[in-house]
Chains A and B, each alone.
Chain A
Amino acid sequence: MRAFVYERPADVEQAVAAVAADPQAAFLAGGTTQLDLMKDGVWTPDRLVDITRLPLRGIMVEGQLMRVGALTTMEQLAAEPAVTERLLMVREALLAGASTQLRNMATIGGNLLQRTRCRYFRDPSVAACNRRSPDSGCAAVDNTARMHAILGVDERCVALHASDVAVPLVAVDAQALVAGPGGQQRHIPLTEFWVRADEGPSIEHVLTHGELVTAVDVPLLPAGWRSGYLKVRDRASYEFALCSAAVAVLMDGDLIADVRIALGGVGSVPWRARQAEQMLRGTHVDPVRFEQAGRATVAGAYTLPGTAFKVDLAVATLTRQLLAMTTEANS
C-alpha cells in the first residue's frame, strides 16, 4: 500500500478544504471498498481525510421526507422504523447487500460512491481499463465478462454499479446533498448523480474533487403504496446481484394507479426504468404486459457472450417482482 498522511478534520468545511487542496487526497468513511482498493494498488491516495467523526450520522424524518446523514451505516438505515413502514424496498435492498459486519462499517454516502467490482478494474496488472486509465481499452470486453453491465455501456467499458440500496433510492427520486469548497451546497438528484459508462468510461459521477456527500434526502412513499426489492444472485446470501428489481406500486383495485421501477445488476448506473413505468401506469395486472415493459427496458442492451443471459434474466426478474407487488397489493 502506498504511504499516506492520515488526517481528522474538525468539521465539514475543513474536510472539504483538505481534499480540495490536494489532488491526491481522498475522504475516508467506512473504508470497506476503499481500503481494499488501496491494498490492491488500484487507488493510491497520498492523504486520507477521515470524516467518520464528523456529525453526519443519523436519520431525520419530517413528513414525507427522510434525511439520511451520509455516515449513517447500512445497518442503521435498515433498522429505521420509517424505512420498514414506508420504504420497505430500501430495507430489503440494504439487508440483501454484503454481510452484517460490512453493513456495520459501510456508510450510505460511501455506498453510493462505491467503485465498480469489475475484476479487471480491480487488478492493476491489467493494463486495459478505460475506467482506470482513459483510452487504454477494456479487458472485460476482450476477455471474459459476467458480473458486468448490459445497460449504459458500450465496447469501451462494461463496468457495473453494484449497489443494491441505490436501486430503490433512484426509484423514489432521492437526492444527494453535497458540500463543496467555499461553503457551497448543492442538491443532486440521484438519477443525475452517476455518469453512464457509455457517456464517459473514466468518469463515475458528477462530483468534483473535494465535494462531499453530507446527506441523502429520501422521499417516503405515501400511504397505500407497496414496495419490495428482489435480488437474483449466484448464492443465497452475501453475493452481488446478477439482476435485481426495486418496484413500488400504488394499486386501485386491479389497476396500477402509479408505479416506480429501477433495476440493479444490469447498469453502469443504478437503472431507473421510466419507459416501463409509463407503459404500466393506468394498466391492469397483466404478466404479458409486465414482460413487454421488461423487454422495452433492456431493448438497448449491449451484451457480450458472458453477459447475454442478463437480458432474459432482467425481464424475468422485473416481471416476477411486478407480479408479486401488484398481486400482494390486491390481497
Chain B
Amino acid sequence: MKTTRTTARAPSAQDQYVVDILTVVNGVPQQWRVDTRTTLLEALRDTAGLTGTKRGCDQGACGACTVHVDGNRVLSCLMLAAQADGRTVTTVEGLAGELGLHPLQEAFLRHDAFQCGFCTPGQLMSAACLLREPGRTRSDADIREYMSGNLCRCGAYDNIVAAIRDVAAQQAEDGA
C-alpha cells in the first residue's frame, strides 16, 4: 500500500527540505520551488499544471507517466523533480507542433489506438522516442518489445502497434 505522499506544507527559503529547480518544459522555462521529495511527475502535474502526463501505478510498472528528459524517454514517477534541474523536459502537451498534431497523434486517431485514453499520453511519448531509436520498428514484434514498458488495460495494443507501424513506414519513405 502506498500511503505516504509529499506533504502539503508551505516551503520556506530556509527549509533544508526544499529545492529550487530551473528547467525547460515544452520549450518554456520553468522555475519551481518544491519539497525535495517531489517527483518530476508531481511537479509537472501539480506545480506546472501539465496534467497530460498521467499517474498510473506510481511505481514504474505502467509507463503512463512517460516523458522525455533531454530527448530520452523516462518514467517521471521514478525521477525526483530535483534531478530535472537544468534539463529539458517534453510532455505530451509539447508533442503537437504549430502546424497541428504529431503524426503519431494522427495515427492513433486513425487507428482507434485507445479506448479510455488514460495510457495514451505515455504511449505517445514512448512511441515518439521509439521512432528515433535505431532499428526498433523493423517488425511488429520489435515494436511490441520496445513498447512493452507501456501497459494498456483496455487492450488496444493491436491498434497501437498499427499506428506506430504506419508512422514508422511513413518516416522510412520520407527518409528514403
Contacts and interface: CB of A to CB of B under 8 A. Distances in A.
Task: Pick the most buried of A6, A36, A41: most chain B CB atoms within 10 A of its CB.
Answer: A6
Interface in A30-49: 31-32, 35-36, 39-41, 48
Interface stretch (B100-108, B144-152, B166-174): B144-152
Interface string B61-88: 0010010000011110011101100000
Contacts of B124: none
A4 B149 contact: no
Interface in A1-47: 1-6, 28, 31-32, 35-36, 39-41
Interface string A87-124: 00000000000111110110000000000000000000
A62 B74 CA distance: 31
B59 A36 contact: yes
B16 A5 contact: yes
A237 B148 contact: yes
B36 A5 contact: yes
Interface string B147-169: 01110000000000000000000
A41 B149 contact: no
A100 B75 contact: no
Contacts of B137: none
Contact of A3 (B37, B63, B66, B79): B37
A191 interface: no
Contacts of A236: 145, 148
B17 A105 contact: no
Nearest to B77: A35
Interface in A286-321: none
Task: Pick the most buried of A39, A48, A50: most chain B CB atoms within 10 A of its CB.
Answer: A39
B90 interface: no
B73 A35 contact: no
A98 B149 contact: yes
Interface residues of A, number: 29
Contact of B80 (A35, A36, A40): A35
A331 interface: no
Contacts of A102: 60, 75, 78, 149
A64 interface: no
A105 B74 contact: yes
A50 B82 CA distance: 9
B36 A6 contact: yes
Given A4-B36, A32-B60, A39-B58, A101 B80 contact: no
B74 A48 contact: no
Contact of A100 (B1, B19, B149): B149
B130 interface: yes
A202 interface: no
Contacts of A28: 80, 83
Contacts of A48: 36, 80
Given A6-B19, A32-B60, A1 B6 contact: yes
A39 B80 contact: no
B155 to A, nearest CB: 14
Given A5-B17, A52-B83, A101 B75 contact: yes
Interface of B: 1-2, 4-7, 16-17, 19, 35-37, 39, 58-60, 63, 66, 72-75, 78-80, 82-83, 126, 129-130, 133, 144-146, 148-150
Interface of A: 1-6, 28, 31-32, 35-36, 39-41, 48, 50, 52, 75, 98-102, 104-105, 125, 236-238
